Amino acid sequence: MGDHITVRFDNDRAYVTLNRPGKHNGLTLEMLRDLVDAARKVADNKTTRAVIIAGNGPSFSSGLDIAAATRNPVAIVKEFLPRPLRGTNTFQEACWAWRRLDVPVIAAIHGRCFGGGLQIALAADFRIAAPTAEFSVMEAAHGLVPDMTGPAALSQLIGIDQALLLTMTAEQIDTDYALRIGLITDVADDPLEAAEDLADRITARDRNAVAAAKHLFDRSWHRHPRATFAAERMAQLPLLLRKAMGSSD
């Protein structure tokens, strides 16, 4: 695992940190692979009762670093290939791996939470944001569509009109708007402290009941995510390859 994704275990908590602060935690392909590995590492630690995902520096994450990610079209295609058993590619598994865990995952958000960064946050079970945080389904600004399990997560959280509005305009919204439409769970001056408090409240309950509730809701809430993941890939891959080849048509 590289330096841009860190995992720290403290008693019954796992702290996963996006650590590329100079780029507002812009996501590279390596970081996506490391997020998948981080989720596996957390799953293997049987003492973990809750996970908190946060960003180091001025932002949670500004989203996919397009310049870095499109530098190698062959690598894009490789990471786009889905895992047969999981039904996800690397972009998708970097997010949905957190849904697969038996423990609650809480995103503590500050600064920018754009594009792929927002989709990581949406894959958490709860999102607590600072009052000054900003959100955007940013992909349309780059001629792309959300492709990191965003559509599956959005369908569970907000209405289709709001999801389309955010996706088609790529506009930035503030915390008040995000809370009003259900994009985030709560607002706190110190999101990390609030996330730890929420973790305390949940871990006070039976861990088997918590795990069962998480998986029950994920299995039964609207459309099965795996079908959405395949649709994502079919919509996104030609757009991403055209961008990698420099086409603007």
Whether the model pTM is above 0.75: yes
At 153-197, the pLDDT tens digits run 999 999 999 999 999 999 999 999 999 999 999 999 999 999 999
Other beta carbons within 10 angstroms of residue 247's beta carbon come to 10
pLDDT-derived band of residue 247, with 50, 70 and 90 as boundaries? low
Above 80 in pLDDT, residue 225?
no
Residue among 194, 172, 176, 195 at smallest CA distance from 184: 176
Q: Which domains does the chain have, with CATH numbers?
A: 5-244 (3.90.226.10)
Instruction: Kindly tell me if the per-residue pLDDT of 249 is higher than 70.
Output: no
Indicate if the pLDDT at residue 123 is higher than 80.
yes
Per residue in 58-70, pLDDT (tens digit) is 999 999 998 887 7
Share of the chain above pLDDT 90, in %: 74
Cα–Cα distance measured from residue 28 to residue 182, given in angstroms and rounded to the nearest whole number: 28
Average pLDDT of the chain is: 92
**Per-residue pLDDT averaged across 117-140, rounded?**
97
178 CB burial (10 A radius; 0-12, 13-18, 19+):
buried
Q: Note the pLDDT of residue 248.
A: 54
pLDDT category, 73, cuts 50, 70, 90?
Answer: confident
What type of residue sits at position 194?
A
pLDDT of residue 1: 74
Q: Report the pLDDT value the prediction gives residue 71, as an integer from 0 to 100.
A: 82
pLDDT at 132: 98
